[in-house]
Structure 1
Amino acid sequence: MAKSSTPSLNGKIALVTGASRGIGRGIALQLGQAGATVYITGRQPNESLQNNCEYGDALPTLEKTKQDIEDRGGKAVLVYCDHSDSESVKALFERIDSENGVLDILVNNAFSAVNDINNTEGKPFYELDPNLWDKVNNVGLRNHYICSVYAARMMTKRKSGLIINVSSIGGLTYAFNVAYGVGKMALDRMAADMAEELKDTGVTIFSLWPAAVKTECARELITAGKVQQVVKAPTDMIEESLTTGETVEYAGRCIVHMAADTKVNKRAGKIVFTSDVARHYGFKDIDGATPQDMRSVSVALKFFGWRRLAAITPACLRIPLTAMHFTSYKFE
């Protein structure tokens, strides 16, 4: 089912939370390029710089995201929003409602604990300040629930809308730390349970799992030599992801195609891999490459250190979704 041309989202109203940098920025750029009016949120610059990777003047900003969308012929509405404050979030949706009366797409992406995760120095949960839980999951989970509530209220009135939770494989297996993994698993479960209550409303919600992404913070981790402290994976495997991983706009391309698909409701409540979306619609990353497939058997073998076996494993061999599903079972 190959559809390599980029679909149009002209007339659509979208909200991307946490769009200053990384995947959120990439998603906003692609939605704007496809014709949607994109509301982009982030914290005030001084707050944001204190809580994320330190790139100084080179660090992308919310203003830069807005300018880049407009340079591509799109329309962006910049809104500073503290997603740890429920009243600020409420005001955000009230503004969108008053200015448009409609919201077609919500991308739950905001996450404020990048720096907190990067600086845990590989310590176990019992040696860390228990407030790490709130730092990771207040914006990264609780806020997504609140945003989904307000978005669903607007969308169900029109019996149309799409909500996407940007999650990760951290919801399936250990990654970074306990608070992170529990938050991602909860985010996926939230999408599944909300999908149950959104049946027959015309609103679709699901989780999107990118693979390794070449974000600003990923580069910083490698430059600082902190990969093994943060990610439980071989250092060379992580470094390789910077050459074979996704650009920050790959997930955005996925969302554009799905938002334009009249049958997107078939994904309701599911976990969706970016690689599967690209295969289904027949597109590549913005640099013309086909990024690393998280379901690739050879990638999995390489991850666990079996490089020789990985080298002779056909690239087309993929892990069945049922196999990935059963790895999450914790029963004895």
Structure 2
Amino acid sequence: MLLAGQIAIVTGASRGIGRGIALQLGSAGATVYITGRKPTESLNSKVGLSGLEETAAEITRRGGKGIAKYVDHQNMEEVKNFFEIVEKDQNGQLDILVNNAYQGVTAIADNIGTPFYETDPYIWDTINNVGLRNHYFCTVYASRLMAARNQGLIVNVSSGGGLQYIFNVAYGVGKQALDRLSADCAVELMKKNVCVVSLWPGAVRTELADKKFKIDDREPSSDVINAMVFANGETVEYPGKAIVSLATDSKRMKKSGKILITEDLGDEYEFVDIDGKKPPNLRSVSFILQHFGWKTTASLIPNWVKIPGWAIWAGTSRL
């Protein structure tokens, strides 16, 4: 297996993208530590295994080794203790860290359309404590292990939310800061042969997206549009395929510090999604037009027609 003998950590892997990434790392033969919040006792008694434990079991069934650890990523002492456990158990070896844990989804959904000055300012902590501060702490602890062995891969699961305003102020600032975290850590880790990147998935068919976005003509047009976009989006395991490809690329240091889009990596490394499909690229003109509701126009443009990366950045310049 491609990653046999390698040790990986995926934070926030009970469900969604984190779960999909962990499963793909396990399918490639890695030992994968996965973290998530401990479920309430009453919930555990009703459903048996937690989502985190189920994910760990599936990793093992696929040929890797899944190790579930309950970690509250709001508590930095728990985070520190977790990395100390990994260091002790694996004799200091850590090959891959995927920072994916996130807490702000509910707060974002509950406050869409409300100006930041009318929102409780503590929404900043809800969105950026686990989604940014925790990523920094995890990156510090992981880098100490990786730098000592002169190798490693750190992936920060991010999004295009830092390019232009979306959802709310705290979200956009946090995402741009996360991308800067990747870029600046890469500078200092370059001499240690540790690759650090931001990964932007496209529209991902997570459990939450499948539940929220159902194509129904009775729903508001924006929800119908979103439903169509997500219906053609990537599965939760597609980002995992991208990370496995990065982890096995002997020239990955050339990508360190960069923002990488999952579909671009799919083109480069020639892999498709687990359903056999090739998801639309975030830079695809047809995908962008469809997102804005111009379905007919989008259908006339081939998926391979993309906006260059430099044009996206130039269009969002603050200078």
Aligned residues: 313
Distance in structure 2 (CA, Å) of the matches to 1:220 and 1:130: 29
Answer whether contact 1:214 1:241 (CA < 8 A) is retained.
no
1:301 paired to 2:295 = no
> Residue 106 of structure 1: which of 92, 97, 120 is its match?
97
Distance in structure 1 (CA, Å) of the matches to 2:176 and 2:50: 29
Task: Give the partner amino acid of 1:270.
Answer: K
1:119 alignment counterpart: 110
Superposed CA offset, 1:158-202 (max 9, x none): 100000000011121222221111111100011011111112111
Evaluate the alpha carbon distance shift between residue 121 and residue 208 of structure 1 in structure 2; reply closer, same or farther with a 3 A threshold.
closer
Unpaired stretches in structure 1, ≥5 consecutive residues: 1-6, 50-55
Answer whether contact 2:225 2:293 (CA < 8 A) is retained.
no
Distance in structure 1 (CA, Å) of the matches to 2:116 and 2:78: 31
1:13 paired to 2:7 = yes
Alignment of 1:254-273 (within 5 A): 254-273=242-261
Answer whether contact 1:17 1:107 (CA < 8 A) is retained.
yes
Identity %: 52
> Residue 213 of structure 1: which of 204, 207, 211 is its match?
204
Answer whether contact 1:213 1:241 (CA < 8 A) is retained.
no
Task: Give the partner amino acid of 1:32.
Answer: G
1:315 paired to 2:303 = yes
The structure, 1 or 2, with the larger RCO (C-alpha pairs under 8 Å, 6+ apart) is 1
Task: Give the partner amino acid of 1:19.
Answer: A
> Residue 140 of structure 2: which of 128, 138, 149 is its match?
149
> Residue 184 of structure 1: which of 159, 175, 180 is its match?
175
1:83 paired to 2:77 = no
Answer whether contact 2:8 2:96 (CA < 8 A) is retained.
yes
Distance in structure 2 (CA, Å) of the matches to 1:135 and 1:224: 30
Distance in structure 1 (CA, Å) of the matches to 2:49 and 2:177: 30
Distance in structure 1 (CA, Å) of the matches to 2:206 and 2:294: 27
Distance in structure 1 (CA, Å) of the matches to 2:67 and 2:77: 19
Distance in structure 1 (CA, Å) of the matches to 2:290 and 2:30: 39
Evaluate the alpha carbon distance shift between residue 221 and residue 125 of structure 1 in structure 2; reply closer, same or farther with a 3 A threshold.
farther
The worse-fitting range, judged by mean Cα deviation, of 86-95 and 166-175 is: 166-175
Superposed CA offset, 1:33-73 (max 9, x none): 100000000000129x8xxxxxx969971011111112212
Distance in structure 2 (CA, Å) of the matches to 1:249 and 1:60: 20
SS at match of 1:200: helix
Answer whether contact 1:234 1:303 (CA < 8 A) is retained.
no
Distance in structure 2 (CA, Å) of the matches to 1:62 and 1:323: 40
Compute the TM-score of the two structures, normalised by the length of structure 2: 0.93
Evaluate the alpha carbon distance shift between residue 305 and residue 241 of structure 1 in structure 2; reply closer, same or farther with a 3 A threshold.
closer
Answer whether contact 2:215 2:224 (CA < 8 A) is retained.
no
Answer whether contact 1:81 1:88 (CA < 8 A) is retained.
yes
Task: Give the partner amino acid of 1:297.
Answer: V
Distance in structure 2 (CA, Å) of the matches to 1:164 and 1:328: 24
> Residue 192 of structure 2: which of 201, 210, 213 is its match?
201
> Residue 23 of structure 2: which of 26, 29, 46 is its match?
29
Superposed CA offset, 1:14-34 (max 9, x none): 000000000000000000110
The worse-fitting range, judged by mean Cα deviation, of 135-144 and 294-303 is: 294-303
Deviation at 1:256, TM superposition (A): 0.5
Task: Give the partner amino acid of 2:61.
Answer: D
Superposed CA offset, 1:271-305 (max 9, x none): 00000000001110001011121111111122234
Task: Give the partner amino acid of 2:68.
Answer: L
Distance in structure 1 (CA, Å) of the matches to 2:242 and 2:112: 34
1:170 alignment counterpart: 161
Answer whether contact 1:295 1:319 (CA < 8 A) is retained.
yes
Task: Give the partner amino acid of 1:77.
Answer: I
Answer whether contact 1:208 1:273 (CA < 8 A) is retained.
yes
Answer whether contact 1:21 1:60 (CA < 8 A) is retained.
no
Superposed CA offset, 1:2-23 (max 9, x none): xxxxx61000000000000000
Answer whether contact 2:108 2:167 (CA < 8 A) is retained.
yes
2:85 alignment counterpart: 95
Deviation at 1:216, TM superposition (A): 1.2
